[in-house]
């Protein structure tokens, strides 16, 4: 998962881009990058690390210009090399940079076409670089010194025809403006907004509305599936539907885990949807354990807190904060490497023993993916003196890998893959495990936008809305995403990454 942002302003946008990326930091902790342009030149800074670590004062001073884009990243298929930090750049035509959230499902085929037919070189293993080159090639075919909005939309139209998978992207065309576009299924989120200043009107495109709100931009709306939004450097705004058969199939896992609760995605309040998840889960607990002996409901911070509160209220049980989070440890789900994830759990959470001693505790989490964190936490709670440990997941069992930009591991690494709920219960060491029903989860999200006919629930039901995901593809993806493969690649790239970091600082 990644976060993207682009701004066309009236003054320098470097600070607003930086601040927006810090708000989107939850979408990726591996790398960050910003590119701006002024006087027909672009200025780029990107590297591994958090936003606050990648950008120092000396870097910010160089990022001049009233137009720019930014990106925060975590790797979905292999490495955490700074060579794959975004935005990516091609010099022809015009000089185009691109930031991308999602994952193409025909990357290999498309990369071959880009090389053999478009005569373009791909320098990394990133599908984002492939997407950039496809867009650049289609725009270059127009053969114009000054591209029009229609030229940009035609290029996006062909990108949709050639590319498959999930992508929300922002491209900066040096000297002309920025364009944001979303795949025809609208799997990954993107929205845009406006800000009035004494100097004039400014626009922002971003992954989540919270990035707009944090900088004083008013949300206009989400970018529709297949739509493109083009903003010229003078602030002129153009929008156009560029897909032949668009259909909104947004990723429901954004509401379960990834998005910030204060975001609005596709007209759905993430916060409200998570409240409804807690209410639905409480209803299921009442049905399956009407005479429950739960003494206290404790959320596993932070994402599950919103669902745990109404769950406790509906059950008539005390809600307590029994696990205290170390704010300086990142989100374990998106940390590269299983060893690092396991080691970080105890560093990340510390129990308040008084809330556990002699009690029957219901722990609530947003979801269970690998199960490693759950096992550690259940044992931690037992060690703190809990009599019984129950576990509730606000999401259904995650049984299938994600192919659209979320680094859910190979199927064999998913604890619920090929297992019953009872078997998962035994593996994590809980006295009782209860999952959300998929129909209830969908209803919780859809209540905010009844116009959505179908969500991307592929991680729960194995149905991939793009219709091109085969067993062969999943097998290849499993190889790419295996822990052993990632560790091997990261080890090989360590020396090269150090060299890149040094040159980048210079």
Annotated binding site for Mg(2+): 303, 365-366
**Hey, is 5 helix, strand or coil?**
strand
**Hey, is 470 helix, strand or coil?**
coil
Which tokens go with 135?
Answer: 């867009």
C-beta pairs of 196-204 under 8 Å, 24+ apart in sequence? 197/9, 197/10, 197/11, 199/10, 199/11, 200/10, 200/235, 201/10, 201/235, 202/7, 202/8, 202/9, 202/10, 202/235, 203/7, 203/8, 203/231, 203/235, 203/237, 204/5, 204/6, 204/7, 204/16, 204/20
DSSP 8-state symbol, 57: H
Contact 93, 505 (CB under 8 A): no
Out of 2, 191, 251, 374, which one is annotated catalytic?
2
Cα distance between residue 392 and residue 278, in whole Å: 10
* 286: CB partners within 8 A, 6+ apart: 314, 315
| CA 193 to centroid of chain Cα atoms | 20
DSSP 8-state symbol, 456: B
Please say if 2 is a catalytic residue.
Answer: yes
State the distance between the two ends of the chain, measured CA to CA, in whole angstroms: 29
DSSP 8-state symbol, 251: B
Residue numbering of the annotated binding site: 303, 365-366
Sheet harboring 432-435: ordered strands across?
318-319, 296-299, 360-365, 388-393, 432-435
Question: Where in the sequence numbering do the catalytic residues fall?
Answer: 2
């Amino acid at each position: 998962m990644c976060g993207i942002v682009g701004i066309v302003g009236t003054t320098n946008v470097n600070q607003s881009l930086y601040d927006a990326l810090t708000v989107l930091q939850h979408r990726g902790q591996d790398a960050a990058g910003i590119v701006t342009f002024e006087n027909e030149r672009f200025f780029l800074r990107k590297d591994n690390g958090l936003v606050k670590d990648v950008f120092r004062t000396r870097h910010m001073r160089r990022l001049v210009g009233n137009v720019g884009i930014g990106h925060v990243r975590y790797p979905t298929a292999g490495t955490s090399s700074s060579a794959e930090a975004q935005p990516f750049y091609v010099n022809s035509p015009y000089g185009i940079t691109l930031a991308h959230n999602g994952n193409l499902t025909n990357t290999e085929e498309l990369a071959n076409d880009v090389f053999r037919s478009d005569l373009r070189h791909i320098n990394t293993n990133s599908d984002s670089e492939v997407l950039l080159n496809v867009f650049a090639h289609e725009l270059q075919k127009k053969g114009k010194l000054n591209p029009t909005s229609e030229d940009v939309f035609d290029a996006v139209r062909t990108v949709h025809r050639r590319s498959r998978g999930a992508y929300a992207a922002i491209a900066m065309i040096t000297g002309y403006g920025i364009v944001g576009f979303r795949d025809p299924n609208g799997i990954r989120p993107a929205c845009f907004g406006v800000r009035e200043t004494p100097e004039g009107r400014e626009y922002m495109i971003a992954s989540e509305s919270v990035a707009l709100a944090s900088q004083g931009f008013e949300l206009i709306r989400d970018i529709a599936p297949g739509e493109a939004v083009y903003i010229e450097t003078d602030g002129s705004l153009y929008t156009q539907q560029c897909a032949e058969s668009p259909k909104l199939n947004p990723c429901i896992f954004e509401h379960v885990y990834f998005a910030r609760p204060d975001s609005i995605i596709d007209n759905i309040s993430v916060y409200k949807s998570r409240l409804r998840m807690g209410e639905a889960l409480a209803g299921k607990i009442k049905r399956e354990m009407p005479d429950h002996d739960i003494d206290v409901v404790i959320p596993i911070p932070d994402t599950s807190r919103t669902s745990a509160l109404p769950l406790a209220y509906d059950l008539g049980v005390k809600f307590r904060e029994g696990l205290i989070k170390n704010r300086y440890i990142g989100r374990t789900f998106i940390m590269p490497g299983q060893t690092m994830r396991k080691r970080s759990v105890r560093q990340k959470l510390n129990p308040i023993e008084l809330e556990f001693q002699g009690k029957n505790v219901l722990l609530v989490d947003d979801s269970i993916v690998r199960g490693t964190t759950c096992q550690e936490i259940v044992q931690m709670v037992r060690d703190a003196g809990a009599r019984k440990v129950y576990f509730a997941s606000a999401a259904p069992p995650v049984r299938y890998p994600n192919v659209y930009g979320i680094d859910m591991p190979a199927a064999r690494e998913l604890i619920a893959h090929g297992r019953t709920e009872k078997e998962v219960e035994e593996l994590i060491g809980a006295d009782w495990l209860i999952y959300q029903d998929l129909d209830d989860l969908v209803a919780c999200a859809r209540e905010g936008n009844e116009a959505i006919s179908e969500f991307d629930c592929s991680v729960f039901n194995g149905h991939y809305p793009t219709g091109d995901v085969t067993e062969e593809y999943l097998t290849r993806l499993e190889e790419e995403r295996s822990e052993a493969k990632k560790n091997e690649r990261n080890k090989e790239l360590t020396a090269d990454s150090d060299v890149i970091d040094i040159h980048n600082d210079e």
